[in-house]
Amino acid sequence: MVSFVCHLFVRKPEERRRVFSRNVFYCSNIIVRTFGLSIKTINMPTDQKPFLLVSNHMGFVDIMMIASRFPALFVTSNEMRETPFLGLLTETAGCIYVERRSRTKIKDEMKGIVEVLKQGFRVTLYPEATSTNGERVLPFKKTLMMAAGLAGVPIQPVVINFRKVNGEPFGFKWRDSLCWYGDITFLQSLWAALKLKSVEAEIEFLEQIHSTPEDDRGLIADRAHSLISAKYAPIIVPTQDVIVPAYDTEST
């Protein structure tokens, strides 16, 4: 509601995005406290310099976690923009939309990410291109990570780990309470998360990657993926009678 009012009175797109990102930062902190989410932050940069943050992604809870650390803009898909309610929510959060279904368009839309990085924004990108079931970090899509080199800012890898849920170690028992994947709807995922009493989680900022437009995008993506995977604690799934949903791991 606050962002909608700002949308009416703040006309310049850059200033509007700054208002939106600050509003998301403040609101996310309120949500995190209300939700009973305790976050341990490790090695967060102390300066205010822009970067392209890349992270593993399990659901909307880790979005709130990152958004509560500092003002930032998030990259999401046009499919999300077309989704009722979530489309409005992402638009008033100042999200940057990309068309992941078209390789031609996504290269053009990368210019938008480069532009906001050059304006001094911190931008969050989930290079898995989907939220997952927490069993592993999926291979990274490569194209959009090139935006950092084109904008002259570093890539900031971040790993998200849930440690405890309701006082118990996070594992398969609690997976569907925090991971939004497969055929689970947004409302189902939201309701499952809201029923939790407490969650303990970690955000760890890893070694920054400095790239140039001439660098091999595959090597840059693999480097970021390796750093995050090495620090990620995957969910261990019981071997009996468990069907693991398939993912599209094709890289672009």
Q: 212: exposed, middle or buried (C-beta count within 10 Å: 0-12, 13-18, 19+)?
A: exposed
pLDDT score recorded for residue 244: 55
Residue 148 lies in a domain: yes
Q: Are 75 and 96 in contact (CB under 8 A)?
A: yes
Residue 92 lies in a domain: yes
The C-alpha atoms of residue 6 and residue 123 are separated, in whole angstroms, by 21
Residue 243 lies in a domain: no
Residue 151 lies in a domain: yes
The C-alpha atoms of residue 213 and residue 99 are separated, in whole angstroms, by 21
pLDDT score recorded for residue 243: 55
What burial letters (b/e) apply to 43-54, b meaning 16+ CB within 10 Å?
Answer: eeeeeeebbbbb
Residue 239 lies in a domain: no
- Nearest one of 232, 226, 221 to 127, comparing CA atoms: 221
Residue 55 lies in a domain: yes
**Domain residue limits at 140:** 2-231
Residue 144 lies in a domain: yes
Q: Which domain CATH number covers 159?
A: 3.40.1130
pLDDT score recorded for residue 171: 93
The count of structural domains within the chain is 1
pTM for the model: 0.88
Helix, strand and coil content of the chain, in percent to the nearest 5, comes to 40, 15, 40
Tokens of 250: 């094709």
Residue range 81-102, pLDDT digits in tens = 877 778 888 888 888 888 766 6
pLDDT score recorded for residue 42: 97
Residue 218 lies in a domain: yes
Ranges of residues in the chain with a pLDDT under 50 are: 249-252
